[in-house]
Amino acid sequence: MKTVLIVLAIVAVVFVVAMVVLYFVGKKLQKRQDEAEVQMREAAQTFSILVIDKKKMKLSEANLPKMVLDQTPKYLRRSKVPIVKAKIGPKVMSMMCDPKVFDLIPVKKEVKAVISGIYITDVKGLRSGLDPKAQKKGFFAKIKDKAKKDKK
């Protein structure tokens, strides 16, 4: 009985120590992210772009500059990110996009985008407003909507 209590006490202490470490690491990472967001907002410019295509693809397949791939950590290179292929002036470019904004971007339409480097942070409709209904619904959202219609 004593050994079980000792083992449980050790597990509890390790758990508490791990939680404290995660708290401080998370706080440090949050501070770093806030600083990066401030820098992105300062460098942001508004452009009129024609969206050609948008996909979620791996960084290596996205046709991004080599410098971007070199700066990305190796464990993130295989993850899929939202990529928008757009014509900005006479140039066609592949750009990364904020996941919150990705669903709002219409394909084959001209929009005003707030761009910081190669990252699209915000989008506004150029000639007409963006249609928020155009967002893709997930599987469970579709089921909930169908259930609500059946109840009525």
What number of residues does the chain have? 152
Confidence (pLDDT) at 32 = 95
Task: Return d(Cα 19, Cα 42) in angstroms, integer.
Answer: 35
One-letter identity of residue 68: V
In the predicted model, is pLDDT for residue 84 greater than 60?
yes
Per the structure, the complete domain to which residue 98 belongs is given by 44-134
Domain count, the chain: 1
Confidence (pLDDT) at 137 = 72
At residue 87 the predicted structure's pLDDT band, cuts being 50, 70 and 90, is very high
* 2 in any annotated domain: no
At residue 135 the predicted structure's pLDDT band, cuts being 50, 70 and 90, is low
**CATH code, domain with 68:** 2.40.50
* 71 in any annotated domain: yes
* 141 in any annotated domain: no
Burial of 51 (0-12, 13-18, 19+ CB in 10 A): buried
* 12 in any annotated domain: no
* 24 in any annotated domain: no
Least confident of 4-13, 79-88, 142-151: 142-151
Q: Could you report the per-residue pLDDT of 48-72, keeping only the tens digit for each?
A: 999 999 999 988 888 888 888 888 8
Burial of 118 (0-12, 13-18, 19+ CB in 10 A): middle
On average, the pLDDT of the chain sits at: 87
Q: Could you report the per-residue pLDDT of 123-133, keeping only the tens digit for each?
A: 987 666 666 55
In the predicted model, is pLDDT for residue 6 greater than 60?
yes
Task: Return d(Cα 37, Cα 34) in angstroms, integer.
Answer: 5
* 60 in any annotated domain: yes
* 82 in any annotated domain: yes
**Pairwise pLDDT comparison (125 vs 113), residue with the higher score:** 113
Confidence (pLDDT) at 133 = 55
Question: The whole model's pTM is what?
Answer: 0.66
